[in-house]
């Protein structure tokens, strides 16, 4: 009986050490990922302002599509395309 308890204690210790090692590796990877995200956030601000004209153009098109003029044009188009 004591042999079984010793074997179980050794197995539990090995599993605990393996889990602790995996936790350390995971935390190190999380730290590296956080550093990369921080670097990206700090450097992306200047690059994203270059996209402002494109965003404004998309907003203009979106507003045009949702406006009444576009709906009226669709209605007229449907009148002429129906058979």
Please write the tens of the pLDDT for every residue from 26-73. 999 999 999 999 998 888 777 777 777 888 888 887 777 667 777 777
Here the contacts of 5-13 (C-beta below 8 Å, separation 24 or greater) are none
Domain range spanning residue 50?
Answer: 2-81
Q: What is the pLDDT of residue 1?
A: 78
Q: What is the pLDDT of residue 8?
A: 94
Q: Is residue 3 scored above 80 in pLDDT?
A: yes
Q: Are 36 and 42 in contact (CB under 8 A)?
A: no
Dump pLDDT digits (tens) for 5-29: 999 999 999 999 999 999 999 999 9
Q: Could you give the maximum distance between any two Cα atoms of the chain, in Å?
A: 93
Q: Residue 14: what are its φ and ψ, rounded to 5°?
A: -65, -45
Q: In angstroms, how far is CA 35 from the centroid of its own chain?
A: 16
Q: Residue 73: what are its φ and ψ, rounded to 5°?
A: -65, -40
Count of domains observed in the chain: 1
Q: What is the pLDDT of residue 60?
A: 82
Q: What is the pLDDT of residue 57?
A: 83
**Nearest alpha carbon to residue 39 among 51, 31, 49, 28:** 31
């Amino acid at each position: 009986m004591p042999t079984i308890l010793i074997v179980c204690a050794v197995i539990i210790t090995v599993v605990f050490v393996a889990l602790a090692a995996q936790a350390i590796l995971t935390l190190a990877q999380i730290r590296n990922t956080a550093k990369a995200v921080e670097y990206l956030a700090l450097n992306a601000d200047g690059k994203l302002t270059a996209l402002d004209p494109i965003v404004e153009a998309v907003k203009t098109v979106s507003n045009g599509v949702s406006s009444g003029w576009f709906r009226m044009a669709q209605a007229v188009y449907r009148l002429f395309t129906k058979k």
